[in-house]
Amino acid sequence: MRVDPSAGLTPMLEVADISVRFGAVQALERVGLTIHRGEIVAIIGPNGAGKTTLLNVISGFYHPTEGRILFEGRDRTHLRPYDVAALGVARTFQNVALFKGMSVLDNIMTGRLLKMGGNVLLDALYWGPAKKQELEHRAFVERIIDFLEIEAIRKSPAGRLPYGLQKRVELARALAAEPKLLLLDEPMAGMNVEEKEDMCRFILGVNDEFGTTIALIEHDMSVVMDISDRVVALDYGRKIADGRPDEVRADQGVIDAYLGVAHA
Amino acid sequence: MLDLLYAVVVGPVKDMVGAPTFLAEVVIGGLAAGLMYSLVALGFVLIYKASGVFNFAQGVMVLFAALTLVGLMERGVPLVPALALTMLVMVALAFAIERVVLRPLVNQEQIILFMATIGLNFFLEGFGELAWGSNVKKLDVGIPDSSFMVWGIQINRLEMTAALTAAVLVAVMAVFFQRTRIGRALRAVADDHEAALSIGIPLNTIWIVVWSVAGLVAIVAGIMWGAKSGVQFSLSLIALKALPVLILGGFTSVPGAIVGGLIIGVGEKIAEVYWGPLVGGAIENWFAYVLALAFLLVRPQGLFGEKIIERV
The nearest alpha carbon in chain B to A173 belongs to: B199
Whether B247 maps to a domain, the answer reads yes
B260-288 pLDDT tens trace: 888 888 888 888 877 777 777 677 778 88
State which of A129-143, A199-213, B106-120 shows the largest mean pLDDT: A199-213
- Once rounded to an integer, what is the mean pLDDT over residues A73-88? 82
Asked whether A181 and A88 are in contact (CB, 8 A), the reply is: yes
Whether B130 maps to a domain, the answer reads yes
Whether B182 maps to a domain, the answer reads yes
- Confidence grade of residue B99 (pLDDT, cut at 50, 70, 90): confident
Q: What is the 3-state secondary structure (H, E, C) of chain B?
A: CHHHHHHHHHHHHHHHHHCHHHHHHHHHHHHHHHHHHHHHHHHHHHHHHHHCCCCCCHHHHHHHHHHHHHHHHHCCCCHHHHHHHHHHHHHHHHHHHHHHHHHHHCCCCHHHHHHHHHHHHHHHHHHHHHHHCCCCECCCCCCCCCEEEECCEEEEHHHHHHHHHHHHHHHHHHHHHHHCHHHHHHHHHHHCHHHHHHCCCCHHHHHHHHHHHHHHHHHHHHHHHHHHHCECHHHHHHHHHHHHHHHHHCCCCHHHHHHHHHHHHHHHHHHHHHHHHHHCCCCHHHHHHHHHHHHHHHCCCCCCCCCCCCCC
Share of chain B above pLDDT 90, in %: 0
- Once rounded to an integer, what is the mean pLDDT over residues B145-158? 73
**Is residue A118 pLDDT above 60, yes or no?**
no
Whether B304 maps to a domain, the answer reads no
Chain-chain contact of A130 with B184 (C-beta, under 8 angstroms): no
- For residue A68, the cross-strand partners are A16
Indicate the helix (H) or strand (E) that contains A70. Answer: strand A66-71
- Confidence grade of residue B82 (pLDDT, cut at 50, 70, 90): confident
Tally of structural domains, chain B? 1
- Shortest alpha-carbon distance between residue A120 and chain B (Å): 7
**CA atoms of A37 and A88, how far apart (whole Å):** 13
Give the CATH number, domain containing residue B152.
1.10.3470
**Is residue A63 pLDDT above 50, yes or no?**
yes
Whether B227 maps to a domain, the answer reads yes
A82, A111, A124 ranked by CB distance to B202: nearest: A82
**Contacts from B72-75 at CB under 8 Å and sequence distance 24+?**
B73/B139, B74/B137
- Confidence grade of residue B86 (pLDDT, cut at 50, 70, 90): confident
How far the first Cα of chain A sits from its last, in Å, is 44
**Is residue A123 pLDDT above 70, yes or no?**
no
A141-191 pLDDT tens trace: 888 888 888 888 888 888 888 888 888 898 898 888 888 899 998 888 888
Whether B311 maps to a domain, the answer reads no
Mean pLDDT of chain B: 79
Whether B307 maps to a domain, the answer reads no
- Confidence grade of residue B54 (pLDDT, cut at 50, 70, 90): confident
- Confidence grade of residue B204 (pLDDT, cut at 50, 70, 90): confident
**Is residue A1 pLDDT above 50, yes or no?**
no
Mean pLDDT of chain A: 82
pTM value is 0.72
| Chain B residues closer than 8 Å to A91 by CB | 198
Domain span including residue B130? 2-298
Asked whether A225 and A42 are in contact (CB, 8 A), the reply is: no
Higher pLDDT, A212 or A3: A212
**Is residue B63 pLDDT above 60, yes or no?**
yes
Chain-chain contact of B191 with A102 (C-beta, under 8 angstroms): yes
| Chain B residues closer than 8 Å to A116 by CB | 181
Burial (CB < 10 A; 0-12, 13-18, 19+), residue A23, is exposed
- For residue A31, the cross-strand partners are A18
SS3 A66: strand
Asked whether B156 and B32 are in contact (CB, 8 A), the reply is: yes
Chain-chain contact of B199 with A90 (C-beta, under 8 angstroms): yes
Question: Angle A109-A114-A120 (CA atoms, 0-180°, nearest 5)?
Answer: 100
Q: What is the pLDDT of residue A105?
A: 86
Most A-contacting residue of B107, B176, B199, B208 (CB-CB within 10 A), to test interface? B199
The nearest alpha carbon in chain A to B191 belongs to: A99
Q: What is the pLDDT of residue A117?
A: 59
Please provide residue B133's backbone torsions phi and psi, each rounded to the nearest 5 degrees: 90, 160
Asked whether B280 and B75 are in contact (CB, 8 A), the reply is: no
- Once rounded to an integer, what is the mean pLDDT over residues A200-218? 89
Chain-chain contact of B195 with A93 (C-beta, under 8 angstroms): yes
Chain-chain contact of A120 with B209 (C-beta, under 8 angstroms): yes
How, if at all, do strands A66-71 and A11-22 pair? Answer: antiparallel
Asked whether A233 and A250 are in contact (CB, 8 A), the reply is: no
The nearest alpha carbon in chain A to B206 belongs to: A120
**Is residue A3 pLDDT above 60, yes or no?**
no
Signed CA dihedral, B178, B181, B184, B185: sign only: negative
Q: What is the pLDDT of residue B228?
A: 74
Chain-chain contact of A97 with B197 (C-beta, under 8 angstroms): no
Whether B312 maps to a domain, the answer reads no
Interface size A-B, in CB pairs within 8 Å, comes to 86
**Is residue A24 pLDDT above 70, yes or no?**
yes
Q: What is the pLDDT of residue B30?
A: 85
| Chain A residues closer than 8 Å to B192 by CB | 97-100
Q: What is the pLDDT of residue B216?
A: 87
**Is residue B55 pLDDT above 70, yes or no?**
yes
| Chain A residues closer than 8 Å to B195 by CB | 93, 97-99
Share of chain A above pLDDT 70, in %: 89
- Confidence grade of residue B25 (pLDDT, cut at 50, 70, 90): confident
Give how far Cα A127 sits from Cα of A123, A133, B74, B78, B103, Å.
8, 10, 38, 31, 32
- Confidence grade of residue A247 (pLDDT, cut at 50, 70, 90): confident
- Once rounded to an integer, what is the mean pLDDT over residues B178-205? 78
